[in-house]
Amino acid sequence: MASIHREILIEAHPDEVWAAVRDFGAVHRRLAPGFVIEARLDGDARIVTFHNGTVAREPLIATRCGDGWSIR
The 10s digit of each residue's pLDDT in 8-56 is 788 999 889 888 988 999 999 999 999 999 999 999 899 999 999 999 9
The helix (run of H) or strand (run of E) holding residue 27 is helix 27-30
Residue 29, pLDDT score: 96
Residue 70, pLDDT score: 53
Residue 67, pLDDT score: 55
Distance of CA 66 to the CA centre of its chain: 19
